[in-house]
């Protein structure tokens, strides 16, 4: 990040905080084996992201915070139900229903009450039950972890903002295949759509949600 770029964003007024709301949900985006196992062409080493996400999951369970874990799943070998996206990224066809690549990473600390949401586009909101469910639960804040920062995480955060939710991204609990798109998209998300915060701060927020403790002030 150059100083010139920072100055340009600050001049545009893109340095505000949305802050934490009172009723969060944790969204864990696409930490399925197709993305966390490097033997899949879509995969990369996301061990640290999984570990940091587990800290968020433990805190959410402690704070009685709703948890939604998403997966990309196609029902067709040619991924026709993914539309043009499947044509743009043909390796998405490996994420076929019933295949091991759609399974959530076994290292995740998933609870039996957590909701697993299957999707066919980048955003967890696109033509899924997510918005209706979050509204029914009275959620006002989405904490978005998972992968990839430049793809499905970003798309989900943009849509969370568009749907009127506070969007919080725990910085160490999202990952990508390469450093440059990861860092660029964290910078842009933080400027335009949500708050990128340290994972420890977000853990404290989630753990205290049920007790009604105050959200961290941040900076």
Domain that holds residue 114: 22-207
Could you give the percent of the chain with pLDDT greater than 90?
Answer: 87
CA distance linking residue 210 with residue 64, whole number of Å: 6
C-beta of residue 50 within 8 angstroms of C-beta of residue 107:
yes
Which CATH number do you get for residue 60?
Answer: 3.40.50.850
Structural domain contains residue 217: no
The residues facing 70 across adjacent strands are: 29, 117
Structural domain contains residue 95: yes
Structural domain contains residue 131: yes
Report the largest interatomic distance among the alpha carbons of the chain, rounded to a whole angstrom.
50
Q: pTM of the entire structure?
A: 0.92
Question: Does position 212 have pLDDT exceeding 50, yes or no?
Answer: no
Catalytic residue among 27, 152, 160, 174: 152
Structural domain contains residue 8: no
Judge whether 161 counts as a catalytic residue: no
Structural domain contains residue 17: no
Structural domain contains residue 214: no
Give the mean pLDDT of 135-157.
98
- Model pLDDT, residue 166: 98
CB-count burial class (<10 Å; 0-12, 13-18, 19+) for 124: buried
The domain tally of the chain equals 1
């Amino acid at each position: 990040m150059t100083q010139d770029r920072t100055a340009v964003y600050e001049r545009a007024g893109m340095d505000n905080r949305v802050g934490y709301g009172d009723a969060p949900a944790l969204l864990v985006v696409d930490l399925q084996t197709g993305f966390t196992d490097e033997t899949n062409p879509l995969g990369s080493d996301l061990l640290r992201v999984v570990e940091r996400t587990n800290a968020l999951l433990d805190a959410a369970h402690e704070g009685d915070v709703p948890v939604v874990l998403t997966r990309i799943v196609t029902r067709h070998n040619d991924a026709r139900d993914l539309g043009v996206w499947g044509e743009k990224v043909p390796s998405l066809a490996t994420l076929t229903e019933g295949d091991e690549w759609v399974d959530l990473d076994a290292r995740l600390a998933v609870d039996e009450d957590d909701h697993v949401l299957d999707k066919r586009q980048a955003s967890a909101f696109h033509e899924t039950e997510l918005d209706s469910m979050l509204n029914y639960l009275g959620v006002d804040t989405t904490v978005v972890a998972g992968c990839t920062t430049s793809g499905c995480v970003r798309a989900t955060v943009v849509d969370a903002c568009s749907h009127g939710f506070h969007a919080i991204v725990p910085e160490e609990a999202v990952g990508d295949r390469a450093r440059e798109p990861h860092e660029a998209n964290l910078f842009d998300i933080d400027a335009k759509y949500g708050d990128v915060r340290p994972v420890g701060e977000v853990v404290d927020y989630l753990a205290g949600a049920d007790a009604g403790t105050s959200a961290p002030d941040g900076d």
